[in-house]
């Protein structure tokens, strides 16, 4: 469904009317146009608090990009910025001119005490106004597991508040702020996430925190077809977010099995035929569904590399009015079915080494939603499932969740107009996301280079005001 208000305020007259009336004036988000476009261009400023652990890696990743790289000099708290390598030219803070930065990237991994948080201020205070429209703020911090002492843990946790508050200040430019918290020594795993968060692929991912652990494998991938040779199963692939996931994984080189209920087979086939994939008509709540899926994957491809549990339903009613079949069906489709499918695939050894499982939760599962006790319960359960499975999975298999906010699909088009309009605007970017925004985040999780990312729940919500 199209957002007429966003179209209107994107015209000069509409923009000025919105400003005069004090209404939100969302900036159209820049999304990927071509898979071979550079992940970042323009001027990028990089800085590091003293004791930084990832600055050399960041300098290497950004030094190899199409961006023009600068490192911050001036304040004593930022002397390690110079370790960004010889591709980064020194830039004295406050900025020497009115240069517009497409990204401000800060390595905060060296911060060990609340006093040292001053380095964050020293870097961002003189530069944040110079962030371009659709720009990126990216902070690298340390995961809690790497902070033994309380002041260290406090200082590193503080970065979450900083990034979320910055996100709210820069959202009106269509710009985003995110935090990567890496385990000590996991800097070799940073590349896929740095590329994702700085690129237009993460246009609607804002105010998020992702944890990166060490992983045995971080293979170099072909940036244009990182999933070539992989086989992906996408449930609920006939339309909406599922169709976008299937298209995006196929774009990245994967062979796709699209699955949907038998009644949606025609639409499903249209999607999979256009991708050279295979269609599987199956109700995931059927008792035989796990075996049917396993047999299909084994017969056609000898197994799976990627499983995306996207199929979902809502059956809204306030709790006192909710018939039991609304409850049962919502839990079955959104939660139990994925557990049963994974169990069978794992038991039969059909999920290959370094496999990827991605589940779809929802903001509703984080914050709870009026009239959605069944759906919120199921989607919160998805988070518990992912966190527990992440501790159990072996052979390099990862599992993560995406929690979409308001995404423009048939599901949200069916909402009453006032609720729909509120859902669209109540986020830092003042607009709904597109199915491709969810799909791009899934493609990032699924990359062979994302082996260090497991047990995460990342929201694709434009930094919704609802929930954490």
**Residue numbers at the binding site for ligand NAI (CB under 6 A):** 235-236, 238-242, 260-261, 264, 283-285, 310-313, 333, 360, 362, 404, 406-407, 409-412
**Pairwise CA distance, residues 322 & 270, whole Å:** 35
In the complex, least distance from residue 114 CB atom to ligand NAI, rounded to whole angstroms? 36
For ligand NAI, give the closer residue by CB, 178 or 310: 310
Q: Is the peptide bond before 276 cis (omega within 30 degrees of 0)?
A: no
**Pairwise CA distance, residues 165 & 440, whole Å:** 24
For ligand NAI, give the closer residue by CB, 141 or 435: 435
Phi, psi of 50 (to 5 degrees): -60, 145
For ligand NAI, give the closer residue by CB, 120 or 461: 461
In the complex, least distance from residue 81 CB atom to ligand NAI, rounded to whole angstroms? 39
In the complex, least distance from residue 326 CB atom to ligand NAI, rounded to whole angstroms? 14
In the complex, least distance from residue 275 CB atom to ligand NAI, rounded to whole angstroms? 16
| DSSP helix/strand/coil, 77 | helix
In the complex, least distance from residue 296 CB atom to ligand NAI, rounded to whole angstroms? 13
| DSSP helix/strand/coil, 80 | helix
For ligand NAI, give the closer residue by CB, 137 or 360: 360
* 375 is annotated as an active-site residue: yes
In the complex, least distance from residue 442 CB atom to ligand NAI, rounded to whole angstroms? 11
Task: Name the token pair of 301.
Answer: 């491809």
Could you please report the per-residue DSSP string of 212-272? E---S------TT-TTTT-EEEEESTTSHHHHHHHHHHHHTT-EEEEEE-GGGHHHHHHHH
For ligand NAI, give the closer residue by CB, 392 or 410: 410
Based on the number of CB atoms within 10 Å of its own CB, is 222 exposed (0-12), middle (13-18) or buried (19 or more)?
Answer: exposed
For ligand NAI, give the closer residue by CB, 71 or 420: 420
**Pairwise CA distance, residues 111 & 153, whole Å:** 10
Cβ contacts of 66 within 8 Å, gap of 6 or more: 38, 40, 41
Could you please report the per-residue DSSP string of 358-401? EEE--HHHHH--TT-HHHHHHHHHHHHHHHHHHHH--TT-EEEE
Laid out side by side, the sheet with 101-107 consists of 89-92, 68-73, 43-48, 101-107, 131-142, 176-182, 209-212
For ligand NAI, give the closer residue by CB, 82 or 415: 415
Q: Are 231 and 304 in contact (CB under 8 A)?
A: yes
Single out the catalytic residue among 5, 375, 385, 445.
375
For ligand NAI, give the closer residue by CB, 71 or 459: 459
Beta-bridge partners for 69: 44
Q: Which residue reads 């995404």 in tokens?
A: 407
For ligand NAI, give the closer residue by CB, 162 or 375: 375
Q: Which residues of 65-98 are buried (b: 16+ CB within 10 A; e: fewer)?
A: bebbbbbbebbebbbbbbbbbeebeebebebeee
> Minimal CB distance to ligand NAI: which residue?
312
**Pairwise CA distance, residues 260 & 458, whole Å:** 25
In the complex, least distance from residue 204 CB atom to ligand NAI, rounded to whole angstroms? 11
In the complex, least distance from residue 236 CB atom to ligand NAI, rounded to whole angstroms? 3
In the complex, least distance from residue 267 CB atom to ligand NAI, rounded to whole angstroms? 8
Phi, psi of 114 (to 5 degrees): -55, -35
What positions carry a catalytic annotation?
Answer: 375
């Amino acid at each position: 469904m199209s957002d007429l208000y966003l179209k209107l305020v994107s015209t000069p007259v509409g923009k000025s009317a919105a400003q005069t009336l004090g209404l939100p004036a969302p900036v159209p988000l820049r999304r990927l146009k071509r898979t071979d476009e550079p992940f970042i261009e323009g001027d990028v400023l990089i800085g590091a608090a003293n004791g930084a652990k990832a600055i050399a890696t960041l300098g290497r990743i950004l030094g190899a990009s199409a961006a023009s790289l600068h490192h911050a000099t001036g304040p004593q708290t930022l002397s390690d910025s110079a370790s960004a390598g010889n591709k980064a030219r020194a830039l004295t803070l406050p900025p020497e001119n009115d240069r517009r930065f497409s990204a401000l990237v800060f390595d905060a991994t060296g911060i060990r005490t609340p006093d040292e948080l001053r380095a964050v201020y020293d870097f961002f205070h003189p530069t944040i106004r110079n962030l371009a429209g659709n720009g990126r703020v990216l902070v690298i911090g340390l995961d809690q597991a790497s902070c033994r002492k309380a002041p260290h843990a406090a200082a590193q946790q503080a970065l979450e508040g900083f990034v979320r508050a910055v996100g709210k200040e820069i959202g009106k430019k269509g710009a985003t702020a995110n935090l990567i918290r890496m385990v000590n020594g996991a800097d070799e795993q940073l590349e896929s996430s740095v590329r994702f968060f700085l690129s237009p692929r993460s246009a609607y991912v804002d105010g998020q925190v992702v944890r990166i652990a060490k992983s045995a494998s971080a293979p170099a991938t072909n940036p244009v077809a990182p999933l070539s040779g992989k086989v992906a199963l996408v449930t609920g692939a006939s339309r909406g977010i599922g169709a976008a996931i299937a298209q995006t994984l196929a774009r990245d080189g994967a062979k796709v099995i699209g699955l949907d209920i038998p009644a949606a087979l025609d639409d499903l086939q249209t999607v999979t035929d256009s991708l050279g994939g295979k269609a599987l008509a199956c109700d995931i709540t059927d008792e035989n569904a796990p075996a049917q899926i396993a047999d299909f994957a084994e017969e056609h491809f000898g197994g799976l590399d990627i499983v995306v549990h996207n199929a979902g339903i809502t059956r809204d009613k306030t709790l006192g009015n909710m018939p039991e079949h609304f409850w049962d069906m919502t839990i079955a489709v959104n939660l139990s079915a994925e557990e049963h499918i994974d169990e069978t695939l794992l038991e039969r050894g059909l999920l290959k080494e370094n496999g990827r499982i991605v589940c779809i939760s929802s903001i509703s599962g984080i914050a709870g939603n009026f009239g959605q006790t069944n759906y919120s319960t199921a989607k919160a359960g998805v988070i518990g499932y992912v966190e527990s499975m992440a501790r159990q999975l072996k052979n390099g298999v990862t599992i993560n969740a995406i929690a979409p906010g308001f995404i423009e699909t048939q599901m949200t088009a069916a909402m009453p107009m006032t609720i729909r309009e509120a859902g669209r605007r109540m986020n830092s970017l003042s607009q709904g996301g597109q199915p491709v925004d969810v799909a791009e985040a899934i493609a990032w999780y699924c990359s062979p280079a994302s082996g260090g990312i497991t047990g995460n729940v990342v929201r694709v919500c434009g930094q919704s005001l609802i929930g954490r």
